Structure 1
Amino acid sequence: MDNNALNAQEVANILKIAKNTVYELVKRGELNSYKVGRKIRFTLNDVEEYISGSKSIKHKIIATKDEVIGNNNIQVTPELNNRGFVICGQDLMLDILSSYVEQYTQGIPALRSYIGSYNSLTALYQGSIQVASAHLWDGDTGEYNVPYVRRLVPGIPTVIIHLTCRMQGFYVKKGNPKNIKSWEDFRRPDITMINREKGSGSRVLLDEHLRLLGISSSLINGYNRENQSHLTVASTIARGGADVAVGNEKIASQVEGIEFIPLQKERYDLVFKKEDINTPGIQAILQILRSDEFKMEFEGIGGYDISEIGNIVAEI
């Protein structure tokens, strides 16, 4: 992708925050910008630098969804628990869900923690959050999420609710110049990748396939080069900074110069403790997911299969 100018609303759309928050980030010196006359403009590099920089900060508490975005290293503390209802995960659906929860509960703060699937489940186990999200594939069983909930939330009765199905695959440069088609291509010495962070669903998916194929990660060029955003890894591929990355289809459609190679349909689920099922926040989520109003939010958005949304996947 080139560095064409972005306006404040376009940056807000990328970061999934309010437009006014963009201006506040500029004012605080956290987001670079430049002026064209009286108008503020941004480059994609400015946005990527903000995302990368924010992820290196250890926040004591998480902010509301309009105060911080994309921070996978947020540390949830007891103080946060007293501030409201916390939903973990990185997908746009969860931002919209949080907004609905506040409306349905008439003001209970629905806070967002932008951490990956693995850390999301461990935070649920530790009692720091109320709702975890996960898209973790187990190569031995072929199942999503259930095996990981058993391992990471042991001894605690839980309920898994389905949110959506998404397509996972490879980001490659337009035209696929290296002719990358399958997981087996990671054996090739001429392939360089950029990876997602440990514990993310995309990283677990990659590692499980490498394990099943007997491919040593130490032999893969770029395996240890990590980034915590689908957007930035896709942008890296578009700029020629690597040949391949693992990610979901929706982001590929948002980055110019990227081609998506579909490989596997994943299940994206929500997890909460069974003891919390009658709390206002969980009851609101169950009603929202099964409402026509919420489903209509995603009818015009590609990349989501919501045909099973709200169904109970398992009670563990």
Structure 2
Amino acid sequence: MSKELSYTIEEVSQLLKVSKLTLYDLVKKGELPVFRVGRQMRIDAKDLDNYIQNQKTNQGTKLYGPVVEQHKNETKDSNHIVISGQDLVLDILGKHIEKNTSYKSLRSYTGSLNSLISMYNGECDIVSLHMFDGDTGEYNLPYIKKILVGYPYILLNLLSRKAGFYVKKGNPLNIQSWTDLNQDHIKIVNREKGSGARILLDEQLRLNRITSRDIEGYRHEVTNHLSVASAVASGVADVGVGIEKVSKIVGIDFVPLITERYDLAILKTPESERLISTVKEILSSPQFQSEVNSLGDYDTSQTGNIIYETY
């Protein structure tokens, strides 16, 4: 029998922070496949992942909000801004920006490194980053300094969160450290190239002198924390790298390994002055921080702090 994981409507509602009515509407329209166990509707983890991926590439009203397409072709005086990254907190930020300004926020669900490259190419206005540099032990800034060459920018803290291993309940294989991955009987599930979780794994393998070809499952890539956790829960993999919050949603154990700083980068231009001022005010506001804290497993003690700024 297949070990594929599935969710109830209630669980998906909590995970994606949308109402059950929204999900029932998607099911009714045939956009989100379900199956029944008795009277209960359930959604396969793979079907949910496929739906999310489709929303990243298609236009229109989405479960997560609008998805960015052809933004680089918009005129410079457009009120559309592109926020890139996958965390749900970015959706909260977008709503606050729209509430306080005339901007219309568009969402791109691209990983940290690719988001930063998109910013360099003029395709994003706000990018979220959680990229670990093994040589300095620092997050984000070493990468920004190399990629945003020639651009003035500001780096603001959005939040901090725990990153580590997703493991099965009870951690039967006793996976506790990065070196534990270098064992023949342990199989991982990986994130896509350019994601912060993938960079964290690759840097730790480098620091511990472990070659990727020695890691079973290294080439098995998925595109979000939910899919990593689902692969571990269903037995497809023994371990994967992700953030704490999703482990609780899926119902698996979490081994914390590092506190990652999750930051926002914005280019400094005459056109972005108002946006930067607005984002600073939002991040420092008690209302925004309260909403973030209500999600759980986030640290807002540095939220709004200027990490680095060029002129």
TM-score, reference length from structure 1: 0.87
Give 2:151's aligned amino acid: I
Q: CA deviation at 1:53?
A: 5.2
d(CA) in 1 for partners of 2:241 and 2:270? 34
Q: CA deviation at 1:273?
A: 0.5
Of the three residues 150, 155, 171, the one matched with 2:150 is 155
- What's the counterpart of residue 92 of structure 1? 88
SS for the counterpart of 2:260 is strand
Of the three residues 143, 151, 164, the one matched with 1:169 is 164
CA 1:80 to 1:260, structure 2 compared with 1: closer, same or farther past 3 Å? Answer: farther
CA 1:277 to 1:269, structure 2 compared with 1: closer, same or farther past 3 Å? Answer: farther
Determine if contact 2:157/2:307 at 8 Å carries over to the other structure.
Answer: yes
Report whether the alignment pairs 1:250 with 2:250: no
Q: CA deviation at 1:22?
A: 3.1
- The gaps in structure 2 that reach 5 residues or longer are none
SS for the counterpart of 2:181 is helix
Q: CA deviation at 1:125?
A: 0.7
Number of aligned residue pairs: 306
Q: How does 1:69-218 map to 2 (within 5 A)?
A: 76-79=70-73, 82=78, 84-105=80-101, 107-218=102-213
Q: Give the structure with the larger strand fraction.
A: 2
CA 1:130 to 1:63, structure 2 compared with 1: closer, same or farther past 3 Å? Answer: farther
- The gaps in structure 1 that reach 5 residues or longer are none
d(CA) in 2 for partners of 1:276 and 1:42? 51
SS for the counterpart of 2:294 is coil
Q: How does 1:221-260 map to 2 (within 5 A)?
A: 221-256=216-251, 258-260=252-254
Q: CA deviation at 1:198?
A: 0.8
- What's the counterpart of residue 8 of structure 2? 6
For residues 142-183 of structure 1, the C-alpha deviation after alignment (integer angstroms, 9 at most, x for no partner) is: 110001111222211111001111111101001111111100
Determine if contact 1:289/1:310 at 8 Å carries over to the other structure.
Answer: yes
- What's the counterpart of residue 42 of structure 2? 43
- What's the counterpart of residue 275 of structure 1? 269
CA 1:285 to 1:253, structure 2 compared with 1: closer, same or farther past 3 Å? Answer: same
d(CA) in 1 for partners of 2:51 and 2:7? 21
- What's the counterpart of residue 15 of structure 1? 16
- What's the counterpart of residue 31 of structure 1? 32
Of the three residues 258, 274, 288, the one matched with 1:294 is 288
CA 1:139 to 1:304, structure 2 compared with 1: closer, same or farther past 3 Å? Answer: same
Determine if contact 1:160/1:269 at 8 Å carries over to the other structure.
Answer: yes
Q: CA deviation at 1:298?
A: 2.7
Give 2:277's aligned amino acid: Q
SS for the counterpart of 2:156 is strand
Of the three residues 304, 309, 315, the one matched with 2:303 is 309
- What's the counterpart of residue 219 of structure 1? 214
Q: CA deviation at 1:206?
A: 0.3
d(CA) in 1 for partners of 2:180 and 2:171? 13
Q: CA deviation at 1:65?
A: 6.6
Q: CA deviation at 1:194?
A: 0.4
Determine if contact 2:55/2:62 at 8 Å carries over to the other structure.
Answer: no
Percent identical residues: 42
d(CA) in 1 for partners of 2:37 and 2:209? 54
SS for the counterpart of 1:306 is coil
CA 1:237 to 1:36, structure 2 compared with 1: closer, same or farther past 3 Å? Answer: closer
d(CA) in 1 for partners of 2:188 and 2:36? 35
CA 1:98 to 1:19, structure 2 compared with 1: closer, same or farther past 3 Å? Answer: farther
TM-score, reference length from structure 2: 0.88
Question: Is the deviation greater in 224-233 or in 23-32?
Answer: 23-32
Of the three residues 42, 50, 53, the one matched with 1:52 is 50
Give 1:138's aligned amino acid: D
Give 1:43's aligned amino acid: R
RMSD, matched Cα: 2.7
CA 1:80 to 1:227, structure 2 compared with 1: closer, same or farther past 3 Å? Answer: farther
d(CA) in 2 for partners of 1:237 and 1:270? 30
Give 2:8's aligned amino acid: L
Q: CA deviation at 1:305?
A: 0.7
Determine if contact 1:138/1:145 at 8 Å carries over to the other structure.
Answer: yes
For residues 179-220 of structure 1, the C-alpha deviation after alignment (integer angstroms, 9 at most, x for no partner) is: 111000121111000011111111100000101111110111
- What's the counterpart of residue 278 of structure 2? 284
